[in-house]
Amino acid sequence: MELKVVDIENPKELNFILGQTHFIKSVEDLHEALVTSVPGIKFGLAFNEASGPCLIRFSGTDDALVELAVDNAQAIGAGHMFIIFLDGSFPVNVLNRIKDVPEVCHIFCATANQVQVIVAETEQGCGILGVIDGSSPKGIETETDIAERKEFLRTIGYKL
Give, for all 160 residues of the chain, the pLDDT tens digit: 999 999 999 999 999 999 999 988 999 999 999 999 999 999 999 999 999 999 999 999 999 999 999 999 999 999 999 999 999 999 999 999 999 999 999 999 999 999 999 999 999 999 999 999 999 999 999 999 999 999 999 998 888 8
* 112-132 per-position pLDDT tens digit: 999 999 999 999 999 999 999
Q: Which CATH architecture has domain 2-155?
A: 3-Layer(aba) Sandwich (3.40)
Buried b (16+ CB within 10 A) or exposed e, 114-141: ebebebeeeeeebbbeebebeeeeeeee
pTM of the model: 0.93
Q: Rounded to whole angstroms, what are the CA distances from 118 to 34, 43, 121, 125?
A: 26, 24, 10, 14
Q: What are the structural domain ranges in the chain?
A: 2-155
Q: What is the DSSP letter of 84?
A: E
What lies within 8 Å, CB to CB, of 154 at 6+ separation is 160
* 63-78 per-position pLDDT tens digit: 999 999 999 999 999 9
